[in-house]
Structure 1
Amino acid sequence: MVKPIIQVKDVSFTYPGAEEKVLNNVNFTINEGEFVAIIGGNGSGKTTICKTFNGLIPKFYVGDFEGQVYVGNRDTSQFSVAELSKEIGYVYQDFENQIMRPTVIEDASFVPLNYGLADYKERGQWALEVTGLTAIANEFIWELSGGQKHLLAIAGVLAMKPKILIVDEPVAQLDPQHAEEIYKVLKKLNEQFGITIIVIEHHAELIAAYCQSVVLMDKGRMLWKEPVKVALSKVDELVSRSIYPPQITQAAKYLEGHEAVTTQLPLTVEEGIVHFGKFLQATNTSFVKKWDYQTQQETQAVVKMEQVSLQFRNLKKQRKQVLKNIDTTFYEGERIAIVGNNGAGKSSFIKLIAGIVKPNHGQVTVQSIVTKHATPEKLGKYVSYVYQNPEEMFIEDSVKKEIELFLKARKVKGYDRIVDTILHDFALTDLQERDARLLSGGQKRRVSLAIGAAMQPTVILLDEPTANLDIATKKHVVHMLEALKDHVKTVVIATHDMQLVSEWATRIIVMHNGEIIADGNRQEIFLNQPLLQKAGLVLPQIVELSRQLGLSETIYTVEDFCQQFDSIEREDKVFEYS
């Protein structure tokens, strides 16, 4: 029998000093054993509503709170956060702040130890076993990869054996392989241990593959709760709120005029093969891809690496090989994506180009300057490094001052004109007097890109430019990357975002264990299945679907896929779902 485990009744909440409610008369129920995704745009109230489940709101985050939240039969307003946390585990988006102890086993056991449970160590060992971390139980936290740290944060709350587990943005900073690992652990906890799982998630493909139901939040209101199949098939409604269903679902909706499309749209690659395969058989259609990226014509070299290696000493004074025997050249006009799993060496690779770190062996040359012998100030004339966390680049109290800082310091003539152009190109004119640190995640990213472009470098280096952004904001950042071509000669990104890679890059470098294991265009990389598996890469849905359908050429975007299927001329139609 279905049994409610969380009931939200007429809940409203306003943060101190705010004029608008962040939650506005929210009502819904989550049943025991459900696997639920809460979706919505930035500021929709997703995280806020979850903080009412364990009493953080209103007990810790004070404000005007109305309504009731029940966990089981308990009104959360009558219990402390500490008491509720015995049954509700919460893994925050900034999960590293939850890791408190120096070793893995100590951290996994930390919460039950603080509750005074005699079996705290056994609970920690059980949590590590469930999350697959037993083999690294005695390792230090700083030796772990991002994926391992995220699993440890989950293990830390699992040690209390909660009935409910809430995970905010489970895969925001993870490569595709580790993202799948996280969700497989969540599925195991749900199916084998009966834990109710609640995720706040932007990745519709993962929602489709693992979740049972979806709650849609918008401007503080709960619009509906539906089974995942029904929820993600509401393409028009979701897209109108800048929420993007799986690529396959978008394509099916766009082509719904064809008889092959039903009201129940496909969500996964497997469903897409059946759905679109029937259409191919019925029409005997054979597709030929109209275009693909051409191999980069060799132009002027801007970056050259010759037998470069990089080592660090860890806290045990042991040498750790981060990069080894890197030998490559970047040219003007290239859009280069550096991909690979967590710990592959991507960030270290681009930091070498920026001169932030120096090679132990070999030589890095940027515009004929050997980085080992150059100061950051000298390299700054040619190379701009945009950090993964935009806040690390902010110094001044307004967007305009941030953008003009470098130009003023270098006494660039006519810098006012350059700044105005940058503000316009990156859609920041209306925000120029705002403090960048107080902007939304997407706006901060635009400011960081603008700062990098304003330096007028030859090469701009971007570390995870779409990390921690919702899908709609990611799409805007892609447009901003296009704007960079008018300001720099070569763009290099280190990323886990394979959809960004498939739509943007002209050249892809694949890294694994500190080495370059492949360097080529999309066809060469995406069709090499052993390579993808070794590097922990997962193809975007639409790419995998076109490959599985056996199309004559691989297709890389939803728009191109639909154009191939659509026999009607649509050149003047604005494509909404790409």
Structure 2
Amino acid sequence: MAHYQIEDVSFQYPNCSEKTLDHITITIEEGEFVLLCGSSGSGKTTMLRQLKREVRPEGNQSGSIYYRGTALEQLDERRSIEEIGMVFQDPDNQIVMNTVWQELTFGMENLGYSTAQMQRRVGELVQFFGMEEWLHLPIHELSGGQKQLVNLASVMTLRPRVLLLDEPSAQLDPIAAKEFIQLLSRINEEFSLTIIISEHRIEEVVPHATQLVMLNQGKIAYLGTPDQVMKQIWKDEDALFLPYLPSISQLYLGIEKVSDARAVPMSVKEGRRWLAGKQEQRQAAGKSLSEAVKVDGQHLEPLLTCKELYFTYDKNAPLVLKRLSLSIHEGEFFALLGANGSGKSTLLQQIAGAHKPQRGDILYAGKSLLRKSTVERSRMIGYVAQNPMLYFTRDTVREQLMDRLRRLGEHSSIEKLNELVARFDVESIMDKHPFDISGGQQQKIALMLVLLAEPKLLLLDEPTKGLDPISKHRLAELLEMIRTGGTTIVMVSHDIEFAASYASRCGLLFNGAMAAVEDTRSFLQSNYFYTTTIHRTVGDVLPEAITVKDVWEQWGN
């Protein structure tokens, strides 16, 4: 019996002229690992919400969805709650209790489980998830990765038969994201739990998937096994979906002739096994990339200098920043990397003026920022926070942007707004409420609101979070345009692939200070965990290569 039978489902939100889902038909068998991909607004989140009755959106719907042979709307409420679990993108939005223990037992308490049942289930899960040491900690003391584990564990206490996950790794650092996906794979393998997950970062997910669904404007563009779908996308030369392919798969498909008999490598292990047989490429790999990527930031004057910063949010709490020193050169694109909770966002907030360091100084063009007013600082520095919801106070995107334009007065123009609307491709959502658009679209609008002021220093906290590959490329083009126009960019990110392709320098923040600061290529070459999938795969053969483009350049493709 199929776990889900989705038959000709269409869905349209109220007051929306276009269908969000358009005649979707999919069969999902028990124990499958299904990966949903597509651009922001393609219908992934809506599709997931259709599969759990309690979170179904309001709107016009047609077609049928069956859960294990029963129409979803006729499914017993308790059975729906217990058997269909869901984990959302933002870890904080799903947590309702103060401690880990309380959060894990919350769902069971509401369903009337006995104390003995709750203790037994929590005891099992805590050991399976490796959560023993922080079981009784307050939630606010946990990292983003730990919070997302709590969300997953709290769902698993009800012993679901299916897990729905909406971009669960979007806010996790690379190591935490990898561990989270590996845990999902283990749950899928050991318990035959059906997993349906939407993700933009598919590099880590696709090796575990049994079925890949590519959505475009609410329709299924591609459906099949990952191997089948990737080969078809490559044959079609589909520019919309080629960027979604894992970098190792792109490398393979760009070199080898596509064959139904040979599987496309999707992981580092598979990629290295394939490369072992490419002796001719090993011998041809002698071309140096160093000249093409030489960074001249050391010859530029520092625009911003952080001098031995110390900061803590509470005098009784550990220091978040400890003797942190960093120079940012005018005109560069600097990527700040590090684990969740390492202090990256705190450093940006220090520079933006949201907090003042207890010790140390921040210099802008040689003058202390700490002595400047908030208004003075805002004319020089633009800051885009991690949560785009903070920027929305109006009923439509258009009203929000126009309100910002009016407030800026002579410091911006309608021409600038129209240019940003076109470059970010947001005309179709201009009359929607900011809360009714996807997370990736919200991220775009928040960035536009800041860019309207044309700041000379732009601080970005996780700007690619929730963006699909095409939108990331467009964002990179826009950032490069404003950088060449004289704007210096400092970006906090977990997106190592994005940093590898576009940043001129990278820094690793650890234990409150900068553990390493180098040009991007040197930085990623020297790292083991904080590096690209391509470098892990070909590093022994091509030490300088960090992107697919690098490999093709060296191998003459």
TM-score, normalised relative to structure 1: 0.86
Amino acid at match of 2:57: Y
- What is residue 266 of structure 2 aligned with on the other side? 267
- What is residue 92 of structure 2 aligned with on the other side? 96
Partner Cα separation in structure 1 for residue 460 and residue 160 of structure 2: 39
Q: 1:428: Cα distance to partner? A: 6.9
Partner SS state of residue 284, structure 1: helix
* Alignment check: 8 A CA contact 1:235 1:249 kept: no
Is residue 7 of structure 2 the alignment partner of residue 9 of structure 1? yes
For residues 508 and 406 of structure 1, do their structure 2 counterparts lie closer, same or farther at Cα, with a shift above 3 Å needed? farther
- What is residue 205 of structure 1 aligned with on the other side? 203
Partner Cα separation in structure 2 for residue 433 and residue 114 of structure 1: 41
- Structure 2: gaps spanning 5 or more residues: none
Is residue 539 of structure 2 the alignment partner of residue 547 of structure 1? yes
For residues 425 and 301 of structure 1, do their structure 2 counterparts lie closer, same or farther at Cα, with a shift above 3 Å needed? farther
Partner Cα separation in structure 1 for residue 304 and residue 250 of structure 2: 39
For residues 448 and 307 of structure 1, do their structure 2 counterparts lie closer, same or farther at Cα, with a shift above 3 Å needed? same
Q: 1:168: Cα distance to partner? A: 1.0
- What is residue 466 of structure 2 aligned with on the other side? 468
After superposition, what is the alpha-carbon deviation per residue over 1:206-240, rounded to whole angstroms, capped at 9, x for unaligned?
A: 22332222223333334554223223333335844
Report 1:340-359 matches (<5 A). Answer: 340-359=338-357
- What is residue 407 of structure 1 aligned with on the other side? 408
After superposition, what is the alpha-carbon deviation per residue over 1:284-324, rounded to whole angstroms, capped at 9, x for unaligned?
A: 313313422324233322212221110112xxx73231110
Is residue 391 of structure 2 the alignment partner of residue 393 of structure 1? yes
Partner SS state of residue 139, structure 1: coil
* Alignment check: 8 A CA contact 1:14 1:63 kept: yes
With CA pairs under 8 Å and 6+ residues apart, which has the higher RCO, 1 or 2?
2
Q: Which residue of 129, 132, 139 maps to 1:131?
A: 129
Q: 1:357: Cα distance to partner? A: 0.8
For residues 422 and 62 of structure 1, do their structure 2 counterparts lie closer, same or farther at Cα, with a shift above 3 Å needed? closer
Partner Cα separation in structure 2 for residue 430 and residue 323 of structure 1: 41
For residues 154 and 417 of structure 1, do their structure 2 counterparts lie closer, same or farther at Cα, with a shift above 3 Å needed? closer
After superposition, what is the alpha-carbon deviation per residue over 1:58-115, rounded to whole angstroms, capped at 9, x for unaligned?
A: xx53333333322223322212544311111111223422211110011011001100
After superposition, what is the alpha-carbon deviation per residue over 1:190-219, rounded to whole angstroms, capped at 9, x for unaligned?
A: 122232222112222122332222223333
Partner SS state of residue 328, structure 1: strand
For residues 11 and 372 of structure 1, do their structure 2 counterparts lie closer, same or farther at Cα, with a shift above 3 Å needed? same
- What is residue 546 of structure 2 aligned with on the other side? 556
- What is residue 573 of structure 1 aligned with on the other side? none
Partner Cα separation in structure 1 for residue 176 and residue 131 of structure 2: 13
Amino acid at match of 2:98: P
Amino acid at match of 2:534: I
Amino acid at match of 2:273: V
Partner Cα separation in structure 2 for residue 494 and residue 447 of structure 1: 18
Partner Cα separation in structure 2 for residue 202 and residue 405 of structure 1: 35
Report 1:333-482 matches (<5 A). Answer: 333-394=331-392, 397-398=398-399, 401-402=402-403, 404-405=405-406, 407-408=408-409, 412=411, 415-416=412-413, 419=416, 423=420, 426=423, 437=434, 441-482=439-480
Partner Cα separation in structure 1 for residue 347 and residue 173 of structure 2: 17
Amino acid at match of 2:301: Q
Partner SS state of residue 297, structure 2: coil
- What is residue 575 of structure 1 aligned with on the other side? none
- What is residue 303 of structure 2 aligned with on the other side? 302
* Alignment check: 8 A CA contact 1:303 1:331 kept: yes
Partner Cα separation in structure 2 for residue 38 and residue 89 of structure 1: 17
* Alignment check: 8 A CA contact 1:453 1:487 kept: no
Structure 1 stretch 335-344 or stretch 67-76: which is displaced more? 67-76
Is residue 64 of structure 2 the alignment partner of residue 68 of structure 1? yes
Amino acid at match of 2:532: P
- What is residue 517 of structure 2 aligned with on the other side? 519
For residues 90 and 433 of structure 1, do their structure 2 counterparts lie closer, same or farther at Cα, with a shift above 3 Å needed? closer
For residues 518 and 18 of structure 1, do their structure 2 counterparts lie closer, same or farther at Cα, with a shift above 3 Å needed? same
Partner SS state of residue 187, structure 2: helix
Q: Which residue of 103, 109, 131 maps to 2:105?
A: 109
Partner Cα separation in structure 2 for residue 149 and residue 365 of structure 1: 36
For residues 424 and 191 of structure 1, do their structure 2 counterparts lie closer, same or farther at Cα, with a shift above 3 Å needed? closer
Q: 1:377: Cα distance to partner? A: 1.2
Q: 1:440: Cα distance to partner? A: 5.5
- Structure 1: gaps spanning 5 or more residues: 568-578
- What is residue 571 of structure 1 aligned with on the other side? none
Structure 1 stretch 416-425 or stretch 127-136: which is displaced more? 416-425
Q: Which residue of 194, 202, 214 maps to 1:216?
A: 214
Q: 1:399: Cα distance to partner? A: 6.0
Partner Cα separation in structure 1 for residue 152 and residue 269 of structure 2: 30
Report 1:143-158 matches (<5 A). Answer: 143-158=141-156
For residues 433 and 19 of structure 1, do their structure 2 counterparts lie closer, same or farther at Cα, with a shift above 3 Å needed? closer
Number of aligned residues: 547
Partner Cα separation in structure 2 for residue 421 and residue 116 of structure 1: 55
- What is residue 293 of structure 2 aligned with on the other side? 292
Partner SS state of residue 66, structure 1: strand
TM-score, normalised relative to structure 2: 0.89
Partner SS state of residue 356, structure 1: coil
Identity score, percent:
27
* Alignment check: 8 A CA contact 1:108 1:128 kept: no
- What is residue 247 of structure 1 aligned with on the other side? 247
What is the RMSD computed on CA atoms of the aligned residues? 2.9
Partner Cα separation in structure 2 for residue 429 and residue 86 of structure 1: 39
Partner Cα separation in structure 1 for residue 112 and residue 437 of structure 2: 42
Amino acid at match of 2:67: V
Q: 1:486: Cα distance to partner? A: 4.1
Is residue 81 of structure 2 the alignment partner of residue 85 of structure 1? yes
Structure 1 stretch 268-277 or stretch 26-35: which is displaced more? 268-277
Structure 1 stretch 481-490 or stretch 426-435: which is displaced more? 426-435
Structure 1 stretch 87-96 or stretch 227-236: which is displaced more? 227-236
Partner Cα separation in structure 2 for residue 446 and residue 53 of structure 1: 28
Report 1:223-238 matches (<5 A). Answer: 223-236=221-234, 237=236
Partner SS state of residue 186, structure 1: helix
